[in-house]
Structure 1
Amino acid sequence: MQPEDHRQANRHEGSVSRRTVLGAGAAAAAGLLLTAGASPGESRGNGLGSLNRMWDAIVIGAGAAGLGAARKLSDAGKQVLVIEARDRIGGRMWTDRTSLSIPHERGGELVHGHNVSTWDLIRQQNLKTHRWEDKFAKINTGDSVWNSAKDFDTFHFPQGAPSFPGEIPRPMVGESAETWLARIGIPRSNYPIYFWVIEGDSEQFDVLPATRVAGELEFVLEMQQYSGEMPPEEYGDYRVIGGYDQVLRPLVRGVEIRHSSVVHTIEYRKNRVDVHTNNGSFKSRVVVMAVPGGVLKSGAIKFDPPLPDARRTAIDEISYLPVFKGILEFAEPVVPADPTLPRRWDVAALFSENPPTLWDASLGTPGYKGQLIVTWMTGGKAQELLDLTVAERHQAGLETVRKFAGDPGLKHVGATTYDWSKDRFALGAYPGPFSRRSGLSDPVGGVLFWAGMTTSTIHSSRDSGTKAATLALDALR
């Protein structure tokens, strides 16, 4: 599927926030340009001879989950074939190296955390990263002061903290977060920035169930006792300089991959699975399904015999979150209008705008004189942007950048975006707060294993593939 592209010549269960203030999203699980010495469409290994061979394991899907599984199986000495519908690996981790002046991420962009499994891939290749440090936000464009993510003001209520002499009134069944907060005396005008961050990284509070925010309110109330600059955070978000796709090179090394092979039917029985594609049929002892939940939900892949009713029900209850990510290129870095902000910044959010969140997607790129700015939103507000034409989406993002820069005449020199919900091999960016995540990963028939259906980060996708491969290895023994 071709990307939409527009170039201008001129802490606890139920928590929905991202573990870091103003992390502002980009957890989209996964996409990437093929690396590691193989061109798109090329297979490694035995070529056409693979059609008649019995593999130990077949992995369906060459995203982070599938490649994580393939690496684990291959390292255990198993004969592994990866079948991928696209002409590239990576799935929703996709480094675009052609549309703008430097590589940029159409899908997953950030390493979320300093000790997640992605780091072993980064370190063994000595890849460079840039950590988000300078993050700022305003609730309203006209507010006089930018709030720093390093300051406890992020948790403070602009009109004063509410008081609950007894327990916080609990949400009623079916009550939205916005309705519940208003009922207990917290209108939108008194939301702390922390709440606006949740809306920008998940779903808006008029839709999000109150039960998903109750724990966040308790946390915010605990933070009222603190003021000033927060201690340095251990958690951090990092960009891989030169393209996120580089982290997948060690995973694909020595693994045979069949590109442009769309699976339509899977026949399974004890000790054997037959995988039928548009490019022939393949057989193996076990299969790891590393296909996005949206694709499984669509019924594009048929199972014979049909999957158990409980599994089918679980798949049908997968729900994906609307995500808008537009990328604007500027000939030179955009300088904030507020002189108190650093000239080079990482994240800025104007929550009265749509899209509200901006981040620098080029900082740290050697020799690059311009700037790539990602414009970002999730949930219903993201869907409003996705319903626009591509040019209108970029214009909306440009208006937010103009207000940040205080320059109504600011122009960009290139732009790109992608709607993952329209991608037939994804059918969604990443699972949202309403997506079912239980009952999806247990093996079926002792031969079908599952990975990556509802993960929302690169490392969790890869980890799910490793876990599925471990179960498959037990079955092979």
Structure 2
Amino acid sequence: MTTSDPDIVVVGAGAAGIGAARRLSGHGYSTVIIEQLPRAGGRAWTYATSAGPVDLGCGWLHSADRNPWTGIAAELGFVVDRRVTAWGEQFKELGFSSKDRAAARNAFALWNEDIRKNPPASDRASDALNPNSPWTPYLQALSGYISGDELERISVTDYVAYDDASTENNWRVADGYGHLITSALPAEVELRLGSPLEGLDLSERKIVLQTSAGTIRTSAVIFTISSNVLAGGAIKLPGALDPWRQAASLLPLGNNEKFYFEVLDGGPFEDETHVLGDPHDSMTGAYYIRPFGQPVLECFLGGAGARAAFTMGREAAFDQAINQLAGLFGSDTRKYLKPLAASNWAGTLSIGGGYSHALPGHANTRLQLAQSFDGRVFFAGEATHTTDFSTAHGAYQSGQRAADEAMASRVVRVKASRADRR
């Protein structure tokens, strides 16, 4: 059923929007989700390929032992794979000996210890680097994978908050994390795909939203859009929301991209193995080989590596990854790899990047971004979570929090009390 004048509008159908919808469901409010993309999920996208489903966005249930998606998976009948990841391995020590891996891990451990015991006054993570260490490119590569950007742009306070809250349990869903997330959308919540928000007017009693499909009037709005989109100018917002735009600009999305190859018959690749392309290159790819035994190989890029891939284009990025793999496995490797699928989060206008991170000195801005405006406009999304940012479960929890705030607001409570009297 189409609702022309819903009680609550959720902007964005990613993990946060779905989290808000699930919380609102069953409470008697008419709810509409508007989404610019032609699909739900946002940065959660399980993409069907000839070699099987692949997650172009989030693929791991981080802190899975306390991750709400683990319970939702059980509720919806999804099987969660709890095997230990192969991230710390280097298949047959190709290009990265056990001795060098131990030295690199020690450099990372020393940096982690230093930012806790002697955090730099600048709050800039790069200021804790050992200038004499040969492993700085390795640490920068890790920063790209973890935070989507180089250490020069990472807040120590923010990084430590995430690291201290996370657990070592990283699990997967064989059918795809994106598939799990989109399957959790309540059937009774109206979803309008391909319906970007163009502007918002707060001058009337009702909030007026201008979308590509027409005007919507509502009592409350929950924004779950990315920090890059909120900080940008694509959506016309009233000046009263400028502080939220400014907060979002201090919590930018970094860059993370995935490139998948189909693994053809034969070749040197074994199930559930992993290699780091070049530990001395901050732009290196990290390669997860034949996950779940599927004939695919995932190249994961972060920070400078992901930005370079976006700049050079898909074909050149695939070639670069094949060259790096050929350098490890041998030149014959090329004939066993076929480009299959790739993300383009930086080029997706409704998203604009990978993970949210706080700029140095601005970790507390997450709390500012999460504040509501006038009891009518509420903000969610992983960038608003103080410890689980950059994750689908942080996004989900933020959506639930914003939904609770909306239901507790004066405007929405009045509607509920009137309904109770009927």
Same fold? TM cut 0.5: yes
TM-score scaled to structure 2, two decimals?
Answer: 0.80
Equivalent residue, structure 2, for 1:445: 374
- Aligned residue identity for 2:61: V
Q: Is the deviation greater in 235-244 or in 387-396?
A: 235-244
**Which whole-Å CA distance do the structure 2 matches of 1:381 and 1:101 have between them?**
26
Query: Which consecutive residues of structure 1, in runs of 5 or more, have no partner in the other structure?
Result: 1-44, 220-232, 337-342
**Which whole-Å CA distance do the structure 2 matches of 1:57 and 1:92 have between them?**
23
Residue 272 of structure 2 corresponds to residue 345 of structure 1: yes
1:141 touches 1:352 (CA, 8 Å); kept in 2? no
Structure 1 or 2: more helix by fraction = 2
Please, which of 335, 342, 345 is the counterpart of residue 420 of structure 1?
345
Equivalent residue, structure 2, for 1:382: 306
Equivalent residue, structure 2, for 1:405: 329
Q: How does 1:17-416 map to 2 (within 5 A)?
A: 45=1, 47=2, 50-51=3-4, 54-98=5-49, 100-114=50-64, 115-130=66-81, 131-137=83-89, 142-145=95-98, 155-156=105-106, 171=120, 173=122, 177=126, 180-182=129-131, 187-189=132-134, 197-202=142-147, 207-208=152-153, 211=156, 235-247=168-180, 248-268=182-202, 272-304=206-238, 306-332=239-265, 335=268, 343-350=270-277, 351-352=279-280, 354-360=283-289, 362-364=290-292, 368=294, 371-411=295-335, 412-416=337-341
- Aligned residue identity for 1:458: A
2:18 touches 2:185 (CA, 8 Å); kept in 1? yes
Query: Which consecutive residues of structure 2, in runs of 5 or more, have no partner in the other structure?
Result: 384-388, 414-422
**Which whole-Å CA distance do the structure 1 matches of 2:213 and 2:135 have between them?**
58
Residues 316-340 of structure 1 show CA distances to partners (whole Å, capped at 9, x for unaligned) of: 333221223211111147536xxxx
The 3 A distance-change label for structure 1 pair 283 and 470 is same
Superposed CA RMSD: 3.6
The 3 A distance-change label for structure 1 pair 404 and 286 is same
Q: What percentage of aligned pairs have identical amino acids? A: 20
Tell me the CA shift for residue 408 of structure 1.
4.2
**Which whole-Å CA distance do the structure 2 matches of 1:70 and 1:104 have between them?**
26
Tell me the CA shift for residue 399 of structure 1.
2.3
**Which whole-Å CA distance do the structure 2 matches of 1:389 and 1:246 have between them?**
27
The 3 A distance-change label for structure 1 pair 268 and 157 is closer
Residues 392-415 of structure 1 show CA distances to partners (whole Å, capped at 9, x for unaligned) of: 100111123334434544331233
Residue 361 of structure 2 corresponds to residue 464 of structure 1: no
What secondary structure sits across from 2:130 in the alignment? helix
Residues 269-301 of structure 1 show CA distances to partners (whole Å, capped at 9, x for unaligned) of: 576212111111112211111111211111222
What secondary structure sits across from 1:325 in the alignment? strand
Equivalent residue pairs, number: 389
The 3 A distance-change label for structure 1 pair 210 and 261 is closer
Equivalent residue, structure 2, for 1:226: none
- Aligned residue identity for 1:316: S
**Which whole-Å CA distance do the structure 2 matches of 1:258 and 1:169 have between them?**
50
Tell me the CA shift for residue 172 of structure 1.
6.1
Equivalent residue, structure 2, for 1:27: none
1:318 touches 1:437 (CA, 8 Å); kept in 2? yes
2:147 touches 2:356 (CA, 8 Å); kept in 1? no
The 3 A distance-change label for structure 1 pair 307 and 176 is same
Q: Is the deviation greater in 375-384 or in 274-283?
A: 375-384
What secondary structure sits across from 1:415 in the alignment? strand
**Which whole-Å CA distance do the structure 2 matches of 1:261 and 1:195 have between them?**
38
The 3 A distance-change label for structure 1 pair 135 and 310 is closer
